[in-house]
Amino acid sequence: MAILRISSATANNNTVTIGTHAENDSLLIFAYRDGSATAPTLPAGWYGLHTLGSGGFSGVIGWKRATSAIETSGTWTNATTLHAIVYRPGADKIIVPVFLGANAGSTSASPAVNGQPTGTFPTNQDDFWVGGWVAMRNSSNNLQSATWTGLSNVTSSTDGSTWQVVVNDTNATRTTAWTNQSAPVANSAPWRSVTFGLLEVPTQSAGGGTFHPLQHPLIR
């Protein structure tokens, strides 16, 4: 069975109620902090995928594998807004998020989701999705409607006056490497983005033995 997106939730707070999930789902939280280049703090039990900070704001992406259907976000100290997304693997598989790249960004009206570095498209996976986290210090650009070709909007948040954040994903298997995509918006503003992958791998080897997902060559 391919990867499934199960639920999503947002909160302009340092905690968020995670949507529907079950044991073995992969939980991702995207934490944005406005007005500071020092990123929010990961709570205990969450693994950092990437941290960025510059241009008057910062962010961190964390993930964990659910061990129950009642997981909590914990407190992401100094976070302005949180986006929690749940992905489900097939039977005897696990989804491991992987960092594919970040755009330190600029001040422009064309925020981009960077392409994969050469050699990072997995050829021995069960399923592989790509996603993009984009933040912009302009609240009127309607980032949730911006079109990064190949991506669908999953979550969005704004304070209505200063900033906007979105998380998008392909909502489908990638059969080729992701290439750089820009999305024109109305107003030039500082922006940053992170490109991530969702890698579904088996927990059993072809010979029947145990395979640890973190042994996959794409996971560094």
Q: pLDDT tens-digit profile of 103-149?
A: 877 899 999 999 998 888 987 778 999 999 999 999 999 999 999 99
In a domain, residue 112? The reply is yes
**Domains contained in the chain, number:** 1
Domain holding 135, by residue range, is 4-215
Residue 220 lies in a domain: no
Long-range contacts formed by 140-147: CB under 8 A, 24+ apart: 140/186, 140/187, 141/109, 141/185, 141/186, 141/187, 141/189, 142/185, 142/186, 143/111, 143/185, 146/111, 146/183, 146/184, 146/185, 147/183
Cα 193 from Cα 47, distance rounded (Å): 19
Higher pLDDT, 18 or 208: 18
The answer to whether position 118 is within a domain reads yes
Q: Are 193 and 113 in contact (CB under 8 A)?
A: yes
- Asked if 28 and 87 touch (Cβ cutoff 8 Å), the reply is yes
16: in domain: yes
Average pLDDT over residues 76-87: 98
Could you identify the residue written with the tokens 């259907």? 69
- pTM exceeding 0.85: yes
149 falls within a domain: yes
Residue 41 resides in a domain: yes
- In three-state secondary structure terms, 208 is coil
Is 70 inside any structural domain? Answer: yes
Asked if residue 168 belongs to a domain, the reply is yes
pLDDT tens-digit map of 35-56:
999 999 999 999 999 999 887 8
